[in-house]
A and B are shown apart, each in its own frame.
Chain A
Amino acid sequence: MKYMFQTGIIFAVTLIGEILSQVIPLPVPGSIYGLVLLFVLLLTGILKLKHVEGAGSFFLVILPFLFISNCVSLMDSISLLGENVVVILILTVVSTLVVMIVTGGVAQLFINGKKKKELAIKEKEGTVNE
């Protein structure tokens, strides 16, 4: 019965997200509105984790599986790729590696900066103590 209740809440939030995507004239999928809405409801404490967690964890575990039919549709659409296969492969590999290095690199710069600051503060305190 608990799971029934949790599933009901998740579906209701999803439905509201769907309605929002119909009303707001932006090309944003309804599930994203739903995600943001659920996040806000949790942050504000209107919903507690116990209201969604059990059924929610189940949905998250099976999430990859839910895309199975989309994947199998490849069997009909793979011919669309045709001569573009090589281009798609190269573009995908290059862009993936660049995103990884740029994101990781910027984060590392931030962290190095923070460490330097902390070190500087420690040194300062060190001289004061002396």
Chain B
Amino acid sequence: MNEFFSESLLFGFTLSVAAYAVGVAIQQKFKKAFLSPLIIAMFLIILILKVFKIDYETYDYGAKYITYFIQPATVCLAIPLYKQFEVLKKNPATVVVSVLAGCIAHLSIMLGSFYWLQLDETIIRSLISKSVTLAFALPITEELGGIGAITIIGLTIAGILGAVVGPGLLKACKITDPVAQGLGIGAASHGVGCGRLVELGEVYAAMGTVAVSVAGILTVLLVNIAVMWL
């Protein structure tokens, strides 16, 4: 099968679009946060490639053209940030200080587990960016020399966990204000968490989006300082 498809740019591309469409359809049918179309598509494609004994390289020959668009799409995150700027302007200290505290807590756990639990440095380098959105996290991992796949695993778990247990857990901790809940879930669980916040209400979603952007930018800055101790 490899020879047949290795010349075809459209194979990887078409398979990706079709698998993602199936993922979207499944999510819309069951409406569950953990049924991320991306994860469904990933399992479907891996299954198909394994069954037909097709290499990842053969698939990526066409699929890599999809990857090229990550950069301009990430730049577009400036648009919701600009639209939410009014929300940010109203509570600037609350947003920046709380998200900064979250980012520092995350980096401390990562550095702490490196020093005291003697964890592998590559794992830390791969997980250190895992609470921010994929578009930020993956380039950070690449710059730090981590393994992108570990980042994606960590990121996926962080997203699903926040979306599923986030609102309940925060409520149990007496963190009940929509602004605080939105910030907490946005800072810990990026876009997947925001998907859940949209269901809860507009203030939740707006604060979530702001937290995702602010956490992304702060993490880029702080990670560069943190890795000096690795």
Contact between chains at A108 and B180 (CB < 8 Å): yes
Task: Mark A residues whose CB is within 8 Å of B.
Answer: 7, 10-11, 13-14, 17-18, 26-32, 34-39, 42-43, 49, 52-53, 56-57, 59-60, 62-78, 80-81, 84, 87-89, 91-108, 110-111
Partner of B149, one of A14, A78, A87, A96: A78
A106 cross-chain contacts in B, Cβ below 8 A:
97-98, 101-102
Contact between chains at A67 and B152 (CB < 8 Å): yes
With CB as the reference atom, state the residue of chain B lying closest to A75. B46
Contact between chains at B188 and A64 (CB < 8 Å): no
Contact between chains at A75 and B76 (CB < 8 Å): no
B174 cross-chain contacts in A, Cβ below 8 A:
108
Q: Complex Cα distance A52/B78, Å?
A: 10
Contact between chains at B45 and A72 (CB < 8 Å): yes
Contact between chains at B49 and A34 (CB < 8 Å): no
Residues 25-40 of B, flagged 1 when their CB comes within 8 A of A and 0 if not, give 0000000000011110
A-B pairs with beta carbons under 8 Å apart, 6 shown:
A32-B216, A35-B74, A56-B79, A64-B38, A74-B42, A103-B99
Q: Which B93-107 residues have a C-beta within 8 angstroms of A?
A: 93-95, 97-99, 101-103, 105-106
Max count, chain B CB within 10 A of own CB: residue among A39, A84, A94: A39
Interface size on B, residues (CB 8 A): 104
A98 cross-chain contacts in B, Cβ below 8 A:
105-106, 109
Contact between chains at A104 and B181 (CB < 8 Å): yes
**B112 CB, min distance to chain A CBs, angstroms:** 10
List 16 additional A-B contacts (Cβ < 8 Å) besides A35-B74, A74-B152.
Answer: A28-B224, A32-B74, A38-B75, A52-B79, A60-B80, A64-B37, A68-B63, A72-B59, A72-B63, A75-B46, A93-B157, A95-B158, A97-B161, A97-B188, A103-B105, A106-B102
B42 cross-chain contacts in A, Cβ below 8 A:
68, 71-72, 74
**B147 CB, min distance to chain A CBs, angstroms:** 6
Contact between chains at B74 and A34 (CB < 8 Å): yes
Contact between chains at B56 and A65 (CB < 8 Å): no
Q: Complex Cα distance A75/B77, Å?
A: 29
Q: Complex Cα distance A97/B175, Å?
A: 13
**B161 CB, min distance to chain A CBs, angstroms:** 5
